[in-house]
Amino acid sequence: MVKLSGPAAFIYDDSVLKYDFGDDHPFKSFRVRMTRDRLTGHFKDLHIEPARGATRAEAELFHEPGYLDLVKHFSKIGTGLLDGGDTPAFRGCYEASLNVMGATLRAVETVLDGEYAHAASFSGGLHHAGRGNASGFCIMNDCAVALAWLRKLFGKVAYVDLDAHHGDGVMYGFYSDPGVIDVDVHQDGKTLFPGTGSHLETGSGEAKGTKLNIPLPPGSADDVLVSLFSELAMPFLEKTKPEFMIVQCGADGLKGDPLACLSFTQNGYLKVIEALHEISHRVCRGRIVLVGGGGYRPEAAAECWAGEYMALSGKAQTCGTNASTSLPSVLRKAEVIKSAIRENHPQLSG
């Protein structure tokens, strides 16, 4: 029997709250503080570890130097757009982005150094930023930097993305790298930003078969999430056997989120996190780090992340809501995509 209990670091200090686009923007960094506040009611000794700022050299593990210079320029000006309109610059955005990145790297460090069995840094998860561009509220891609760093240490690392929006910055940033195993469960890109993440995209060259996209039809509820994850993602991770796992826990798949059209509850997300926690102990010695992401109802996102951290810590979970179920029409569409993935993915076909 694999032992699943063990302390998990919660990476937080107020420096991560400086990643702030303003009151009128849907991205709210204070969700992380709300998560911490919920957890203090469940733990006598919450294992809070302070964040740290990432260095320029660490940022350049993924990002192009010229792009970082551009962000630094706009950071000093304090205004302007870093992409087509979703990601405005603000004064100090360069340093704030490095704070978020550093918090994610600190989470990875605590696990690598053996300080903690697992870690969570819910200020991170900025998965849309590319090597040379901002996108979708993401200025710098902390997930990608952490993966690039881990690739120096391990032959295979896994990135699992649960955000309603496809993690395009990470997937295409490592699309030809066979050492980055990428599982991305998201609302079908035909119906949601950034419009990517087809099930036919499985990697290129030597990396073909190392990426798994699971696009879900709008309206998908817990039954679809849990079914497709257990039947597709779990066997894929079992087969590829990564040595470290980063999980992007975007909570915008929760029913009622204003920027997506999925119908998950905390029940569905918890079942997935519990499954990932269990498999991490079997394939990568429990080396798993959770990061945040989307989730545009702050109270709901904080409640979801608190539950996921508790699950990672081995604390029994009870949900105040019942698991959600999909309409028959949605279930039929989900069955079609599941069959298509099994027929076409190099690791799952045959």
CATH number of the domain at 31, please: 3.40.800.20
Rounded distance between C-alpha atoms, residue 211 and residue 285, angstroms: 22
Task: Tell me if residue 84 falls in helix, strand or coil.
Answer: coil
Residue 92: pLDDT band with limits 50, 70, 90: very high
Task: Tell me if residue 318 falls in helix, strand or coil.
Answer: coil
Q: How far apart are the first and last CA of the chain?
A: 31
Assigned token pair, 48: 């809070």
Rounded distance between C-alpha atoms, residue 32 and residue 242, angstroms: 28
Is residue 291 predicted with pLDDT exceeding 90? Answer: yes
Q: How many CB atoms lie within 10 A of CB 196?
A: 18
pTM, to two decimals: 0.97
At position 186, the amino acid (one-letter code) is H
Task: Tell me if residue 11 falls in helix, strand or coil.
Answer: strand
Rounded distance between C-alpha atoms, residue 258 and residue 18, angstroms: 23
Query: Is 349 part of any domain?
Result: no
pLDDT at residue 41 in the model: 85
Query: Is 108 part of any domain?
Result: yes
Query: Is 233 part of any domain?
Result: yes
Average pLDDT over residues 307-326: 85
Query: Is 2 part of any domain?
Result: no
Query: Is 203 part of any domain?
Result: yes
Does residue 194 have a cis bond before it (omega within 30 degrees)?
Answer: yes
**Residue for token digits 């949605």?**
330
* Per-position b or e across 102-112, b if 16+ CB within 10 A of its CB: bbbbbbbbbbb
Residue 93: pLDDT band with limits 50, 70, 90: very high
Residues that are catalytic: 128
Residue 8: pLDDT band with limits 50, 70, 90: very high
Rounded distance between C-alpha atoms, residue 142 and residue 311, angstroms: 23
Residue 91: give the domain boundaries: 8-344
Assigned token pair, 229: 């994850």
Is residue 317 predicted with pLDDT exceeding 90? Answer: no
Residue range 216-236, pLDDT digits in tens: 999 999 999 999 999 999 999
Give the residue among 138, 127, 204 at the shortest CA–CA distance from 170.
Answer: 127
pLDDT at residue 6 in the model: 73
Residue 2: pLDDT band with limits 50, 70, 90: very low
pLDDT at residue 16 in the model: 98
- The average confidence (pLDDT) of the chain is 96
Strand-pair partners of 184 = 161, 213
| H or E element that contains 289 | strand 288-291
Strand-pair partners of 49 = 11
Average pLDDT over residues 105-117: 97
pLDDT at residue 1 in the model: 38
Query: Is 41 part of any domain?
Result: yes
Query: Is 1 part of any domain?
Result: no
Is residue 316 predicted with pLDDT exceeding 70? Answer: no
Rounded distance between C-alpha atoms, residue 215 and residue 161, angstroms: 12
Domain count, the chain: 1
Query: Is 350 part of any domain?
Result: no
